[in-house]
Amino acid sequence: MTGHAARRAPWRSSSDGPAPFTTLVRLTWRQKKIEHWIRFGHKTHEQILDRNRSVVGFAPNTVFAFVRWAANDYGTIVSRMDIVRAVRRGEPFQTLPFVRPGGEILLKVENWPTVERVLRQIDAIEAIGIHPVDVDPDHWRHVHHCLRAGEQPTAYTALRHEAWLMRRRIAP
């Protein structure tokens, strides 16, 4: 690529833009109207668009939680939470609103009571000294499936986390 095509290529990084293959999430915050936020995740890029909007980026193969809530004059109309793994170049992915290009969805919940249950799961993980981004991705899938089935998910423990870290060290 040369000339204008090289400058327009969406995967190319500019000096002030995100690194190549960064997963970008558009956030909006209008108090009591629309609130999109990141519950956890290590941001590698942040761009403030205006006082209500920003874009944050996540490096490939990192995990983040994205919460979306909206209301109108009659009350809550949207309550959603997704725990997503940012994909690497060439990997398949699922699309999500406000997430570009998309990611591997590990957990997806809708309605505020279910979102609160997931937030409590995250709080419990943090209470035992583990950062949620480091949790075994299979645990987030487990939580997703249990909640869909109306069951209580198994708690994530330090022992399970240690097993995940050991498995990650030996697996390619």
Euclidean distance between CA atoms 153 and 89, whole angstroms:
32
Residue 44 lies in a domain: yes
The domain in which residue 51 lies consists of: 22-170
Q: Is 141 helix (H, G, I), strand (E, B) or coil?
A: helix
Token pair in block for residue 163:
């097993």
Bond from prior residue into 132 cis (ω within 30 degrees of 0): no
Residue 7 lies in a domain: no
Residue 15 lies in a domain: no
Question: CA quadruple 94, 96, 100, 104: dihedral positive or negative?
Answer: negative
Residue 13 lies in a domain: no
Residue 58 lies in a domain: yes
How many domains, in total, are found in the chain? 1
What are the tens digits of pLDDT across the range 29-83? Answer: 999 899 999 999 999 999 999 999 999 999 999 999 999 999 998 989 999 999 9
Determine which helix (DSSP H) or strand (DSSP E) holds 9, and give its type and residue range: none
What are the tens digits of pLDDT across the range 147-164? Answer: 999 999 999 999 999 999
Token pair in block for residue 36:
């999109």
Residue 67 lies in a domain: yes
Residue 12 lies in a domain: no
What pTM value is reported for the model? 0.87
